[in-house]
Amino acid sequence: MRDLPHAGRVSTRARDDVRAFLREQASSLAPDPARGTGHEAAAVAKAEVHAGASVQRVTTILLARHGETDWNRDGRYQGHADPPLNDTGREQARELGETLRGRPIAAVYSSDLRRASETAEIAARPLGLPVLLDSRLREIDVGSWQGRKHEENNGRPWDGETHDAHRERVVAAVHEIAGAHPGETVLLVVHGGTLRRVQEAAVGEGLPVYANCATWAVAVEDGEFRRID
């Protein structure tokens, strides 16, 4: 595991979503056997060259939420706190890795917080890939809410990181990672809030909280984010 210079179980639906997404990526790059001849074939070939160049600029980012911790189970805000995975979280991470085994993942990146980096290490083993850490992928800093249960924060003013500041650092990190892997698929192991900041950049709003080790995919091309269904 290497730092970059910046400082329940996986559901059947989640596994199926990953497999379907990766199959769709592979099929979208498969050649069409029906080709023309003569000038028509040359025109088609020329078009394919340009289309191929366009495809190669697209980076596919597969985001996975980290596995479960005791604080997740108890409903405590984690923020920048660093609790480890519990046994359920480690099993979720193993199932995520097995789902991705043999798939065309070029690199694995993670938040440097332990619940994410441990998930990434376990999931990356079947892929035979190292884990690169980037602190910009951390969860939002929740300030004095950290360690408290949801009901304990009722009426307590927010004194943590703003969503705008969180989005700025997360999106900058994803852009940089995408730029380092043109035309490739990259796994990012992150946090629920981090995932929602990427969703906001791609579809204009954060989606409901994803289960631990569930995944969501986005294409990055020319600095723009586009959801992959």
Which sequence spans correspond to the domains of the chain? 2-29+38-150+160-227
pLDDT value of residue 219: 98
Q: For the purposes of burial, counting CB atoms within 10 Å of the CB of 87, is it exposed (0-12), middle (13-18) or buried (19 or more)?
A: exposed
pLDDT value of residue 23: 53
pLDDT value of residue 3: 67
pLDDT value of residue 113: 98
Number of Cβ within a 10 Å radius of residue 146: 17
Per-residue pLDDT of the chain (229 residues; tens, 9 = 90+): 666 555 434 444 444 555 555 555 544 444 443 343 344 444 434 444 344 444 458 999 999 999 999 999 999 999 999 999 999 999 999 999 999 999 999 999 999 999 999 999 999 999 999 999 999 999 999 999 999 999 999 999 999 999 999 999 999 999 999 999 999 999 999 999 999 999 999 999 999 989 999 999 999 999 899 999 7
Token readout for 122 is 């376990």
Active-site residue, selected from the candidate residues 95, 139, 161, 200: 139
Closest CA to 71 of 140, 134, 157, 150: 150
pTM of this structure: 0.78
Run of H or E residues at 3: strand 2-3
Closest CA to 89 of 187, 207, 189: 189
Q: Which three-class secondary structure state does DSSP give residue 187?
A: strand
CATH topology of domain 2-29+38-150+160-227: Rossmann fold (3.40.50)
> If you search the block for the tokens 């586009």, which residue do you land on?
226
Question: Which amino acid is present at 207?
Answer: L
pLDDT value of residue 229: 78
pLDDT value of residue 52: 46
pLDDT value of residue 2: 61
The reply to whether 40 belongs to the active site is no
Q: Which three-class secondary structure state does DSSP give residue 151?
A: helix
- Distance (Å, rounded) from C-alpha 125 to C-alpha 7? 24
The reply to whether 166 belongs to the active site is no
Give the distance from CA 64 to its chain's centroid: 5
- Distance (Å, rounded) from C-alpha 20 to C-alpha 22? 6
pLDDT value of residue 57: 83
Run of H or E residues at 106: strand 105-110
Give residues with Cβ within 8 angstroms of 216, minimum separation 6. 62, 63, 195, 198, 199, 207, 210
